Amino acid sequence: MKQILLIEDDPFLIDIYSTKLKDSGFLVEVASDGEQALEKVKAKKPDLVLLDIVLPKVSGWEILRKIKAEASLKNLKIIILSNLGQKEEVEKGIHLGVSKYLIKAHYTPSQVVEEIKKII
């Protein structure tokens, strides 16, 4: 069973995405702030990270940089799921090596699961 680390600080979205991912057969671990996210990425070594950008303590950009700088984690598949949809933000994510950049408002939870299945 594939494990997904959901890094999101909105309790409502955590609930929706956790339920949808579990119903689709994934193991789901949740981190609600940047510090917790970095600890869990290193401890759990998930198959994929679903990463929000705007987070308490450590931003999604910083998490992404730290993951990509760590030799044992640099090939980890990461999908950014954010409301930051400006062209520069999307390009920054692609440049930093994410597998996909999804804008929350453009995807239903079911569509997000489909994108995850394409990548893992």
For 28-82, the DSSP string reads: EEEE-SHHHHHHHHHHH--SEEEE-SS-SSS-HHHHHHHHHHSTTTTT-EEEEEE
Mean of the per-residue pLDDT values of the chain: 96
Q: Where are the domains of the chain?
A: 3-119
Say what the pLDDT of residue 29 is. Answer: 97
Given a contact cutoff of 8 angstroms between Cβ atoms, the answer to whether 54 and 82 are in contact is yes
Residue 49, strand partner residues:
5, 78
Q: What is the CATH number of domain 3-119?
A: 3.40.50.2300
Say what the pLDDT of residue 18 is. Answer: 97
Q: What pLDDT digit, counting tens, does each position of 16-73 carry?
A: 999 999 999 999 999 999 999 999 999 999 999 999 999 999 999 999 999 999 999 9
Pick the closest to residue 16 from 81, 78, 80 (CA basis): 81
Say what the pLDDT of residue 116 is. Answer: 97
Say what the pLDDT of residue 52 is. Answer: 97
Q: What pLDDT digit, counting tens, does each position of 79-111 carry?
A: 999 999 999 999 999 999 999 999 999 999 999
